[in-house]
């Protein structure tokens, strides 16, 4: 275990439980077990809290959280819900993102809906992958190659934290294939940590 891995594990453990809580709450919103007004409130696990923690709120005009949630739900219901670039383009055609195509923002939001296939893209992760373009399809390809190259290191880190993630997972019995989410969140934190250097 090297120092970069130790730092990455620290970041992973700091945020993993709250990531699962956001994923769980989004699923509850889609299922209709929590109302829109509850979900956009300033409470733990809410969409609003997610936008703040993931630094999305600064990318759109104030007072538009409900509109952003509505556009997200509409896109997920009508389109390929893993099409991050398509969602970024869609948002740019609304008044939410000031006509800017924000693939990073789109990836973070769609991650809530599909954490199995979408690893959020940000500047630090792109730097780790030596990717200059803010295009998710390029990022997805670079991620695939990265996962193949560093598979052993990723699995070693996941095995190291498994006694701890097993405890966290008990709180989220309705989230299926949770170990795949853990792997994706670990990859996200590896890229984030590497990008800071």
User: What residues does each domain of the chain span?
Assistant: 3-196
Which residues of the chain register pLDDT less than 70? Answer: 197
Number of other residues whose CB lies within 10 A of the CB of residue 86: 17
- The pTM for the full model equals 0.94
pLDDT digits (tens, 9 = 90+) for 91-115: 999 888 888 899 999 999 999 999 9
pLDDT tens digits, one per residue of 11-41: 999 999 999 999 999 999 999 999 999 999 9
- Note whether 39 and 69 are within 8 A (CB): yes
Phi, psi of 46 (to 5 degrees): -75, 165
Predicted pLDDT at 197: 65
């Amino acid at each position: 275990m090297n120092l970069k891995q130790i730092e990455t594990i620290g970041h992973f453990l700091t945020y993993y439980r709250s990531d699962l809580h956001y994923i769980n709450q989004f699923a509850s919103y889609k299922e209709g077990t929590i109302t829109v007004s509850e979900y956009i409130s300033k409470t733990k696990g809410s969409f609003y809290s997610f936008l703040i923690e993931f630094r999305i709120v600064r990318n759109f005009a104030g007072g538009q959280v409900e509109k952003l949630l509505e556009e997200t739900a509409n896109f997920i219901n009508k389109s390929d819900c893993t099409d991050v670039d398509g969602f970024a383009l869609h948002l740019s055609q609304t008044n939410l993102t000031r006509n800017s195509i924000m693939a990073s923002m789109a990836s973070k939001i769609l991650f809530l809906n599909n954490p199995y296939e979408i690893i959020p893209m940000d500047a630090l992760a792109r730097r780790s992958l030596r990717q200059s373009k803010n295009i998710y399809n390029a990022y997805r390809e670079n991620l695939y190659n990265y996962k193949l190259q560093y598979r052993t290191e990723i699995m070693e880190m996941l095995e190291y934290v498994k006694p701890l993630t097993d405890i966290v997972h008990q709180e989220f019995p309705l989230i299926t294939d949770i170990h795949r989410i853990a792997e994706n969140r670990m990859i996200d934190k590896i890229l984030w940590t590497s990008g800071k250097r």
